[in-house]
């Protein structure tokens, strides 16, 4: 697992993380805190469809939650959070998003996917909110942890969500 000085080196040399707000605050001993860019609520507008080859993939539809006085006021439900930070993952580094401990202490459940080597773009996270809560604009909500691979994969990430 990468530590703060290694993460900082990857940021400086390879621009692994861009569009962060404050490196000194967001860089943690064993990871990097992500901040909220926007929040969307899932709708029942269309039924998702997932297949093997992704040829007929249909993801859930969402609607944006609007800021009110610089804050997001959320009721109980399931939401899609997008991070401000933009990633440009090196071919020999992978990441995983974990909830910040404050979220766990509030009963919030966060789901994340692997941040593949070679991925670039914004990240999204699904959160189950068990009761009403308020998030400020740019609140830190996820801590990314990173692992260096022994060697680069044969094919770095090249999926549909690259550059999104």
- pLDDT at position 153 is 86
Q: What span, in angstroms and rounded, lies between the C-alpha atoms of 12 and 23?
A: 11
Task: Please report the pLDDT score of residue 160 as a whole number.
Answer: 61
**Three-state SS at 8:** helix
R_g of the chain computed on alpha carbons: 16
Burial level of 37, CB count in 10 A (0-12/13-18/19+)? middle
> Can you read off the two tokens belonging to residue 158?
């090249």
Distance of CA 15 to the CA centre of its chain: 17
pLDDT in tens, the chain (164 residues): 999 999 999 999 999 999 999 999 999 999 999 999 999 999 977 788 889 988 888 889 899 999 999 999 999 999 999 999 999 999 999 999 999 999 999 999 999 999 999 999 999 999 999 999 999 999 999 999 999 999 988 887 766 665 66
| Token pair belonging to 161 | 């969500």
Q: Which two tokens stand for residue 100?
A: 């910040």
Alpha carbon distances (Å) from 152 to 11, 12, 95, 118: 18, 20, 14, 9
DSSP for 47-112 reads: --B--SSSSS-BPPPEEEPPPBTTEEEE-SEEEEEEES-EEE--TTEEEEEEE-HHHHHTT-EEE-
Tokens of 108: 């919030």
pLDDT of residue 54: 84
**Does CATH place domain 4-44+60-148 in 2.70.40.10?**
yes
Ordered by start, the domain boundaries in the chain are: 4-44+60-148
């Amino acid at each position: 697992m990468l530590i703060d000085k290694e993460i900082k080196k990857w940021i400086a040399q390879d621009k692994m993380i861009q569009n962060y707000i404050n490196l000194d605050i967001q860089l943690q001993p064993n990871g990097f805190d992500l901040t909220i860019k926007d929040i969307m609520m899932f709708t029942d507008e269309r039924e998702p469809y997932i297949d093997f080859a992704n040829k007929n993939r249909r993801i859930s539809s969402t609607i944006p939650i609007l800021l009110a006085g610089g804050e997001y006021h959320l009721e109980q439900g399931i939401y899609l959070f997008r991070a401000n930070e933009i990633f440009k993952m090196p071919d020999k580094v992978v990441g995983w998003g974990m909830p910040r401990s404050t979220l766990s202490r509030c009963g919030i459940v966060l789901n994340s996917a692997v941040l593949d080597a070679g991925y670039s773009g914004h990240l999204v996270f699904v959160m189950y909110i068990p009761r009403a809560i308020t998030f400020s604009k740019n609140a830190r909500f996820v801590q990314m942890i990173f692992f260096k691979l022994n060697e680069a994969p044969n094919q770095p990430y090249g999926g549909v969500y690259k550059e999104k």
